[in-house]
Structure 1
Amino acid sequence: MEVEAGEVRFSVVEHGPGRPVLVLHGGYVDHREAEACFEPALEGVGGLRRIYPDLPGMGRTAAPDTLRSSDDVLEALLALGDAVSGGSPYLLAGHSAGACYAQAMAARRPEQVAGLALVCPLLPGVRDVPAHRVVAGAPDLGDEEFRGYFVLHTAEMLERYERFVAPSAALVDVAAQERLGERWELTPHPGPPYAGPALVVAGRLDSTVGYAAAVEFAGSLPHATLAVVDHAGHALPHEQPAVLRALLGEWLGRVERSGR
């Protein structure tokens, strides 16, 4: 289905009725990766309407020329949140660049975000990024993109990469991503930290964004669970699905108890 939000017509996949849970994927992929990684944890929870959009310039969502920066994308995503929630509080999750947008949305509309979950978030102040290191499997398995993304080089991880990551490459508007990448840093938003139930998950071996910035960010949130997961890189949602499922379940329980 498609949802009009500001100047963007988002391509969106939905599952189930109930409270909206908006899940944002990372860069240079599409909704299929987020759906494959988050849906196993969310589908068994009653009363959740899981919403997986393609972000602008990826998947089947075009990036109009009027989008010139990440701030412009953020405004479109805020409008998308309003459109799919009808103005009521919704849950928000994201991986990588999607987590960057998610935390910015929560900062700008804290009353609209009932809970925030960030996985391997791309955040300001990225530092202490470790060198890429393979911890299991064959170092020559798969293509260069696979080998640079995963730290577990197993047949199972390669199958997930080939099903949920690699096919999206053909649908990426590279010119649009390069245009947006020239102004990728979001304008800082003044105000208190997001005070709702939060989850921050990082891979100890994440050679894309590291984990130091995520740890610092989680420390600024008054109601955050923080997990730094060993034997996981930037592809943590694929490499440690059971851990992620447990952490998301814990987060959902806190959202329910909070009454937000």
Structure 2
Amino acid sequence: MKLNIKDVVLNYNIIGEGEPIIILHGYSVDHTIMFGCMENLFSDESRYKRIYVDLPGMGKSTSSDSIKTSDNMLDIILEFIMKVTKGENFLLVGESYGGYLSRGVVYKIREKVNGLFLICPAIIPDFNKRTVPEHVILAYDEKLMSKLNKEEAEEFSSMSVVQNEKIYLRFKEEVMSGIKLGNQDFLERLQREGYGFSFDVDKLPQKFDKPTLMLLGKQDASVGYKDAWNILDNYPRATFAVLDMAGHNLQIEQEDIFNLLGKEWISRTYREKDY
């Protein structure tokens, strides 16, 4: 499906019917990375409308010279949300940069958000100021790596903490497939010139008191996990979990725990209606 917002054409998919869930992926990938993990949380009977969107300049969405900062990116996402939800309240899921944008959505229209799920969220936009561990591979699969060509092996090794064939296939299908579609010139410019918001997204005017889940990887060398602890007071209803043997692709490397905690978050947002 396509939707024109300002001078950008956004590509998005909708699965299911019911309460809207806006799902935002990270930087340079596309919505495939989210579809691969989020759909495991729902059954055919689930009463949720899952809305997967490719961010501008990523996946099959177009880019625009008018998007110079993350403020501009957020404005487009906010307009997209209001149009596809028709003004309804919604649940919100954000991964990595999508987690940064999601906190921007909460900052701007917190009254519309019924629950928040952050997966390895980018907390500090300046890469040089993040508290991150050194990259480490804790489970090396020599047999698998011997089958890959040099480029594939380098791509996988640069991000993986746990290696096996199942994880590699998901990495290839859900992560690398999206990276290859992005507008690299646009992404490099935005990252270089306007990646951070012009406002402090974590100085909320009011605490977000709806069911929240934050999942962080103990070995995440991209955004780390320690910086997220500093914003936890903004979310009095948050479950905060740091998973060992998990990097920036936590949803793939720790699939079982991701599914368990993700389903529990959904159940909390559902029970919220009974309070």
- TM-score bin, normalised by smaller chain: over 0.9
Partner of 1:207: 221
Could you tell me which of 213, 217, 233 is aligned with 1:219?
A: 233
Partner of 1:42: 42
Q: SS state of the match for residue 79, structure 1?
A: helix
Could you tell me which of 152, 167, 176 is aligned with 1:157?
A: 167
Give the 3 Å change call, closer, same or farther, for CA 240–156 of structure 1 in structure 2.
Answer: same
Query: CA contact under 8 A between 2:22 and 2:51: conserved in structure 1?
Result: yes
Could you tell me which of 177, 186, 189 is aligned with 1:167?
A: 177
Could you tell me which of 243, 246, 252 is aligned with 1:229?
A: 243
- For the aligned residue pairs, the C-alpha RMSD in angstroms reads 1.7
Return 5+ residue gaps in structure 2 as ranges. Answer: 146-151
For 1:129-166, what per-residue CA distance to the aligned partner results, in whole angstroms no more than 9, with x for missing partners? 10011111236824222111110111111111111111
Asked if 1:196 corresponds to 2:240, the answer is no
Query: CA contact under 8 A between 1:3 and 1:83: conserved in structure 2?
Result: no
Q: CA deviation at 1:44?
A: 5.3
For 1:36-73, what per-residue CA distance to the aligned partner results, in whole angstroms no more than 9, with x for missing partners? 01111134561101111011101110111111111100
Mean CA deviation greater in 250-259 or 227-236: 250-259
Asked if 1:251 corresponds to 2:262, the answer is no
Query: CA contact under 8 A between 1:26 and 1:95: conserved in structure 2?
Result: yes
> 1:13, 1:164 → 2: CA distance?
15
Give the 3 Å change call, closer, same or farther, for CA 52–133 of structure 1 in structure 2.
Answer: same
**What TM-score do you get using the length of structure 1 for normalisation?**
0.94
Query: CA contact under 8 A between 2:219 and 2:244: conserved in structure 1?
Result: yes
Query: CA contact under 8 A between 2:26 and 2:97: conserved in structure 1?
Result: yes
Asked if 1:185 corresponds to 2:203, the answer is no
Partner of 1:116: 116
Q: CA deviation at 1:8?
A: 2.6
> 2:219, 2:196 → 1: CA distance?
24
For 1:95-150, what per-residue CA distance to the aligned partner results, in whole angstroms no more than 9, with x for missing partners? 11111111110121111111100010001276331001111123682422211111
> 1:242, 1:170 → 2: CA distance?
28
Structure ID, larger Rg:
2
**What TM-score do you get using the length of structure 2 for normalisation?**
0.89
Q: SS state of the match for residue 250, structure 1?
A: helix
The amino acid of 1:212's aligned partner reads K
Name the count of aligned residue pairs.
260
How many percent of aligned residue pairs carry the same amino acid?
32
Partner of 2:22: 22
Partner of 1:10: 10
For 1:141-194, what per-residue CA distance to the aligned partner results, in whole angstroms no more than 9, with x for missing partners? 242221111101111111111111112232110111122111111122551232
Mean CA deviation greater in 185-194 or 76-85: 185-194
